[in-house]
Structure 1
Amino acid sequence: MSLITNAQRATMLENGRRSAAGQDIDPLPVVKLLTPDANATWLLTELDPADPDIAFGLCDLGMQSPELGSVRISEIASIRGKLGLPVERDRHFSADKPLSAYAEAARQAGAIRT
């Protein structure tokens, strides 16, 4: 399974273009990635149009300190959990609030909760 579908990639690139153009955006997360055998979760909203391997979103590595930032999709794809399982896309995830709301809730809870 691909970490990001073509439709998600197109949406994330459009969000990245808007952000790169200086627009103050707070989009809904487009994709949720997770480690099925560890506690890492990523809610990603955009891809850098100049380097589409770089994504922006809310990152939670399971250490009770989720933060907003940039990550490389290729690095996420190389991660394996405790049992050696790869990162996967949550095919059932559907965002219902903007990234800032998920970030605030994650700060309060110490983890991403969806």
Structure 2
Amino acid sequence: MLSSMLLKTVLLLISTVFYNAVFTNAENPGLKVRLSDKAFLSATNAALVIAKETILSKHIPDQSGSDGQIKYHVYGMKLTQFSYGNPSVNFVPGKGTNFKLSNFRIILQGKIQIRFW
């Protein structure tokens, strides 16, 4: 429940920012919004928390195939960890926003069978 409400709030905030970026260049914009870097970074962090929950809950389907004389089967894959460093968000005049995510890390666990014939 809280996650859904937080997601809606973040999406509303982001859509307002992008709407603002598009229409403030008009002759007489109907709405101007000022958003501090701290507020935008807080919204970004909230969105990343939701993204992390969503990514960790996703199912990775089993994969099988062959390449030449090698036959493989990848199964039981699960995302066990998703982490990131400090996100950086800034506005680029005339372009939009610049989002940078460093030290991004995902850990997968699963099983792989490889056969040669």
Tell whether the structures are fold-level matches, with TM greater than 0.5.
no
Q: Which has the higher contact order (CA 8 A, sep 6+)?
A: 1
**Bigger Rg over Cα:** 2
